[in-house]
Structure formats: structure tokens, C-alpha cells
Structure 1
Amino acid sequence: MKKTVFLLLVFAALQLSAQKDPMPIGVAGLTHGHVNWVFGAQKSGDITIVGIVEPNTDLAKRYMEQYGLSMDLVFDNMEKMLTKKKPVAVTAFGSIHEHLAVVEACAPKGIHVMVEKPLAVSVAHAKKMEALAKKHKIHLLTNYETTWYPTNHKAYELLKKGDIGDVRKVIVRDGHKGPKKIGVQKEFLDWLTDPVQNGGGALIDFGCYGANLLTWLHEGKRPNTVTAVTQQLQAENNPKVDDDCTILLTYDNSMAILEPSWNWPIGRKDMEIYGEKGVVYADNRHDMRIRISEGYDGFSEEKFKLEERKAPFDDPFRLFTAVIRGEIELKPSDLSSLENNMIVVEILEAARESAQTGKTIDLK
């Protein structure tokens, strides 16, 4: 009896150990400036990069030298990498247009996928990706930098607790001086400012953050209407796409203003949530304030300096591995979920149409 119990305990320990081995990850593309994130994530031990797809040999050599990795990891096409290396999951760091091809290659093999924001360049692409994910029962996540901001999660908590009353208006501002001005690498700039490969300019690149947050704050509800205005203020740097945008979303009892731009003098990702009784300011990743109304223009204010969230809710690759292992189940409204990000693509496409036609687009 004792021997049986001992063997069961050993077996359970071995299972636990195996479950916690680093997740074998493939990387699809190296042209996205956020790709450093996945190389840095290897240090945590949650993932291990087993293969990389990048046809640009010079670009691949640069990254392999930077991170002390072998060119033996690099393949010139997806099929070769998937067949030889057999990753459990793939993270996409190419253009947004390429996301569909990544899912088309991975889903039939049962390989999970996480893409950088946004999910897709169009609703048509997104629907194909969604159908493949559901048919082949893979997880398809979308990663945003702001998903990991403790301030956004504290703001959500305060809103749901009713501390500022029912929401009436949300303002989300995202962006920087522009890709060329901040010096992004050429391979990134080439597709980021291409209307086909990126789907647009600042409207897509930074409008997706606000659309993602608003869908989360509204528990997965799509807006009733979308109205957008775009401008091109840096024609010399962004000749093919918009670089400044304002998007107005209406809901049953509230309104949201998204201000994505490549013309901010100072880089920013912040959010203001106005309720009936007060307002929450998520000023950046760690700093936030809550003001409660007192009289006409008076208020009491509390300030917060927040620590990073606890694992696995502090990092995209930790969350991805936890979801794959069944340790976490995402809600449909969650920031990384497929359902949330299908709505994000709907909002972005409606905004693009609104800006082109000068009309409000009805999503209801």
C-alpha cells in the first residue's frame, strides 16, 4: 500500500514538473518592433523559442547576434519550421496582414496562436481566423501593451464596484510622435505605414487600444455607432496613411472618445473614465487617480502608485502558456480574447469607413 502511494506521488510530481516545462514556441516574423518582447520572455523560463520564420536573412542575423542565438533556429517559410520544430504555439511578429496566413498554417495542425494587436486588418480576415480557430479548437489571443497595465485593471475594478457611479464617458489617448520620428527599424516602418499590410495608419496602430479597452469595460458589448475623422499631418513621413484620428463611439448610456495619433509631442497610453459621481484617471502604467465630486467644481482626490500585477497576469507569454495548459479560462470580454478582438476589428473597420465616407456607421 505504501509503495503504491509513493509511486502515485512520484507520478504526480513528474506530471507537475512536465507541465511546468517551458512551452515550445515558434516565432512568425521578426519585422514587428515588439518582437524583442518574446526574446526577453525566454529568461523567465515560461517559454523556449524552438523555431523562427523570417525570410529576410540579414534581419534574422541581426536578432540572432543580439540575443546570442543560432541561425539554425531560423527558417524561410512557416511549413518548414512547423514540420521540423513542432511548436505547441506560435507568436506572430510580422505585419497585421500576415496574421491570417499564420493562423491558416497553424490552426490545422492544432498549434495555438498569439498575434500582436490588432487581430486583423479587416473583418473578412478576422472571420476567417475565427472560423479556423473554432474548427481546429486552438486558442487565438491578441496581445496589447495596455493589457498588462495595473492601472487599467484598478480602474476597471473601481468602475465595477460603483465608486464613481455609472459610466457616462470614456476618453482613451494613445500614440507618439510617429514611427519615423521615433526611429523604428526600416523593416517595421515599411509595413506600418502601408495601408494594405497595416490596414491603415494611426487609426489602426493606436485606435485598436481604445477599442479593446472599451469592449472590455462594456463587458463585450459592441458600440451602437462609430464616427471617425482622420488627418494626415506628416505627409512627408506617412504618405500613404492617416497619422491623426478621432473616433467617437456611442453606447446605450455612454460615449467614448478615442484619440489615436502619430502626432503627440510626448508618447502616451492613458485613459479617463467619467461616471455620475466622479472620474478615474489611469495616467500611465503605474500612476492613477480617482476624484469624487464635491459640489459644482470641487472634488476629493486619492492617488495610487501601483505595483505590477501577479503572474501570469503580468506578461503575455505567461498568460498564453497558462491558457494553453488550461490553468486559466478567458472570458469572452477579456482583453486578450478572440471575442473581444473580433469586435475591435469591427470598430476599426467601421471607423475607417466613417472617415472615408464622412458618415456615422451603425453597428447595432
Structure 2
Amino acid sequence: MNTIKVGIIGCGSITRFRHAPEYAENPYVDEIVFYDRHVERSKALAEEFGGRFVVSVEELWNDPEITAISDCSSNENHHLNTSEALRNGKHVLCEKPLAVSVDKAEQILEAQQKSGKKLMVDHNQRFTKAHQKAKELIASKELGEVLTFKTSFGHQGPEHWGVNKSNSTWFFKKERSHSGVAGDLGVHKIDLIHYLLDDEITDVHSFTGALDKVDENGKPIEVCDNVVCALKTQKGRLGTASFSWTYYGSEDNTTTIYCEKGILKIYHDPENQLIVETKDGEVIQYQLEPIQTNDNQTKTGVIDAFIDAIIQDKEPVVTGKDAVSSLKVLEKILQ
């Protein structure tokens, strides 16, 4: 397989800390072409990562040498950019959530089916060693069937992470982020529960609120900064989930799975990322790898998996269909 050229749309923090460095390290990628509405951003990243930049998105579509595109634009543009890239014969890795609504996500899936190209969505929690090991243990039924679960994802908020490090972040804007913390952090955990349990969340009761965050004018933000919900899956498992931009201490990215013969604790302990406690008192600790946080950027494995799917011509680890099933839950949470 020859090396491939990749285009990236949107040059914010997610590109700078995750997509660009991981493409730069991938042996099959020989050039990264950056596009952002703010040319100075794409120019800066092209310099930092030794790629080049273009001044219009059409240049990415029209370049026959570009095989794949990362869509790192803000949420409201995913259905436009990702669909257009697919229609132009590019494989696409789209940031999550796939779109701001299930309807718009379906448009992307339609474009993908017509194009025959790969579509992968960046639900990166599937790629951590602790989550993969937990899935293996759950599937083996060593602890019996899963009964209940609880999961959490919270940190101090996107204004500490976003490209402009301020309250003017697009994450706080209804017309751009659409779903607030639910689409930023929550959708990751919805996808994770689907993945771990090989199941789907069907019923949702949720509370959402803009409890603390304010925009650049000091007004409460238009999207939720906290979500707490009760969930039920197709197979009858019950669970709870909390997503927050107001955990003003260390980040919480924990999940607990309660089975018939014991429990799995994931990312509760910084040293032992997976702990199994059995009904009869046995404790098994797995030291696997620390979870990636906004302060601790480690390789996600997402880019390598995307490139691998293209080169090996196989189905991506997270498909558009997977992303739509998470988006359906997201819509129920926000109703």
C-alpha cells in the first residue's frame, strides 16, 4: 500500500492535540493538508506538523491525491462537510457527535452508502485498553450477566481546553454545539455502554441544566453544562449516567459494571485502571494504561484504526450506524 494524503477540516484543539500528531506519527500518512475558516490557524498547524494548508474547503474535495478527511469542524457543520467529503470520494473520520440530529446523521449515512467509502466516528473510549479488557471479561460471562451500571464523564469545561481558552467557545453556543455537555462528553459514554454491554439504551429519563457556566457576556449559557440520567437497555439492564462541565477538581471518567457474580470498576484508581471484585471477596487488579485526559494527551489509537480500515479495506471500529444509535439516545436525553 502506498502512503496516503489526509485533509483536516477545522484547526481547533482536537486537531492540534489528537488528529494532527497521530496522523504525523502514522507511517502510512505522508502529508497532512489543513483547512480552517481562520487561515492563520491552518497555517500555524501546517508549520507545526510539517504539512500544508489550503484556503478553501473545495481544495480538499478537488485534490485527487487526498484519500481521507478528518472532519474536526464544529457540530453543526458535520453533516455538510462529512457528506460532501464522502460524495467527493474521500474516506472520512468524523468527530463526535456525528451530527446535531438523527435526521442530519441519516443524510451522512446515505452519502456514505452511495460513495462506498469508509465512515468512522471518533468515539475514542472504545480504544482504551481498560475498556477493551472490560468488554472481554463481560463477553466471557466470568461474572455472569450484567445487571446494572453507572458511568460518569466530567471535567472543568471546554473553555479550559478549546482553542481560544475563553467563555466565547463554540461549545457554549446553541446554534453550533446544539447539545452542550451531552454531545461533548455524554455521547462518548453512551457509545461506551453500547460497546461494553453489546446492547443498546432504549429508555431514558433525564435532567439537564445550565447550572454554572456563563458566556463571554456573563449570561448563562444556552446549552446544558450538566446532565443526570437513568437509563434502560434493550436487554433490560438498568443504569445511571452523569455528564458535567462543572467538576472543578480532577476529571472523572469512571464506569462501574455490576454483574451477577461481581463488579468491574473502570478508571476509579489511577494505578489499576480496571479492578474486578468478585462476590466471594476476590480482588483482581489490572494495570493497563492511564485514561487520556485534557491534561494528559496520550495516543488515542483512533487515527491508526481509521488508516488501518482504509489500507486493509475493512469496516471501521466505530461505524456511522454505531454513531447514529448513540445519537438517538442523545436526542432522548435532550428532549
| Larger of the two Rg values belongs to structure | 1
Could you say which residue in structure 2 is the equivalent of 1:53?
35
Mean Cα deviation higher: 271-280 or 45-54: 45-54
SS of the aligned residue for 1:38 comes to helix
2:124 corresponds to 1:140:
no
- State the shift of 1:146 in Å: 1.6
1:214-293 alignment runs, 5 A limit: 214-219=193-198, 221-237=199-215, 239-251=221-233, 252-264=235-247, 265-283=249-267, 287-293=273-279
1:343-362 alignment runs, 5 A limit: 343-353=325-335
Q: Partners of 1:346 and 1:32 in 2: how far apart?
A: 27
SS of the aligned residue for 1:266 comes to coil
2:69, 2:92 within 8 Å by CA — same for their partners in 1?
A: yes
Q: CA RMSD in A?
A: 2.3
- State the shift of 1:88 in Å: 0.7
Could you say which residue in structure 2 is the equivalent of 1:306?
288
SS of the aligned residue for 1:186 comes to coil
Q: Partners of 1:155 and 1:350 in 2: how far apart?
A: 27
1:9-158 alignment runs, 5 A limit: 19=1, 21-41=2-22, 42-69=24-51, 73-84=52-63, 86-158=65-137
Identical residues among aligned pairs (%)? 19
- State the shift of 1:139 in Å: 1.1
Q: Partners of 1:57 and 1:350 in 2: how far apart?
A: 38
Q: Partners of 1:178 and 1:127 in 2: how far apart?
A: 29
Q: Partners of 1:196 and 1:35 in 2: how far apart?
A: 24
SS of the aligned residue for 2:63 comes to helix
SS of the aligned residue for 1:203 comes to helix
SS of the aligned residue for 1:329 comes to coil
- State the shift of 1:211 in Å: 0.9
SS of the aligned residue for 2:169 comes to helix
Compared CA separation, residues 338 and 183, structure 1 to 2 (3 A) = closer
Superposition misfits of 4+ residues, deviation over 6 angstroms: none
1:170, 1:274 within 8 Å by CA — same for their partners in 2?
A: yes
Q: Partners of 2:175 and 2:13 in 1: how far apart?
A: 15
Could you say which residue in structure 2 is the equivalent of 1:322?
308
1:180-219 alignment runs, 5 A limit: 180=159, 182-186=160-164, 190-219=169-198
Could you say which residue in structure 1 is the equivalent of 2:295?
none
Could you say which residue in structure 2 is the equivalent of 1:165?
144
Compared CA separation, residues 93 and 49, structure 1 to 2 (3 A) = farther
1:194, 1:200 within 8 Å by CA — same for their partners in 2?
A: no
1:198-246 Cα distance to aligned partner (Å, 9 max, x none)? 1221111111011101222343x43231111112221425622110111
Unpaired segments ≥5 residues, structure 2: 291-298
Give the aligned residue type for 1:192: F
Give the aligned residue type for 2:17: N
Q: Partners of 1:132 and 1:32 in 2: how far apart?
A: 27
Q: Partners of 1:103 and 1:129 in 2: how far apart?
A: 7
Compared CA separation, residues 155 and 183, structure 1 to 2 (3 A) = closer
1:244, 1:262 within 8 Å by CA — same for their partners in 2?
A: yes
2:34, 2:46 within 8 Å by CA — same for their partners in 1?
A: no
SS of the aligned residue for 1:171 comes to strand
1:50, 1:85 within 8 Å by CA — same for their partners in 2?
A: no
Q: Partners of 2:178 and 2:197 in 1: how far apart?
A: 25
Mean Cα deviation higher: 283-292 or 89-98: 283-292
Q: Partners of 2:144 and 2:78 in 1: how far apart?
A: 39
Compared CA separation, residues 88 and 120, structure 1 to 2 (3 A) = same
- State the shift of 1:260 in Å: 1.0
Compared CA separation, residues 314 and 176, structure 1 to 2 (3 A) = closer
Give the aligned residue type for 2:18: W
- State the shift of 1:327 in Å: 5.1
1:32, 1:93 within 8 Å by CA — same for their partners in 2?
A: no
SS of the aligned residue for 2:73 comes to coil
Q: Partners of 1:115 and 1:35 in 2: how far apart?
A: 15
Compared CA separation, residues 145 and 104, structure 1 to 2 (3 A) = closer
Could you say which residue in structure 1 is the equivalent of 2:320?
338
2:68, 2:91 within 8 Å by CA — same for their partners in 1?
A: yes
Unpaired segments ≥5 residues, structure 1: 1-18, 354-364
2:135, 2:197 within 8 Å by CA — same for their partners in 1?
A: no
1:123, 1:346 within 8 Å by CA — same for their partners in 2?
A: yes
Compared CA separation, residues 212 and 83, structure 1 to 2 (3 A) = same
Compared CA separation, residues 51 and 240, structure 1 to 2 (3 A) = same
TM-score, normalised via structure 2 length: 0.87
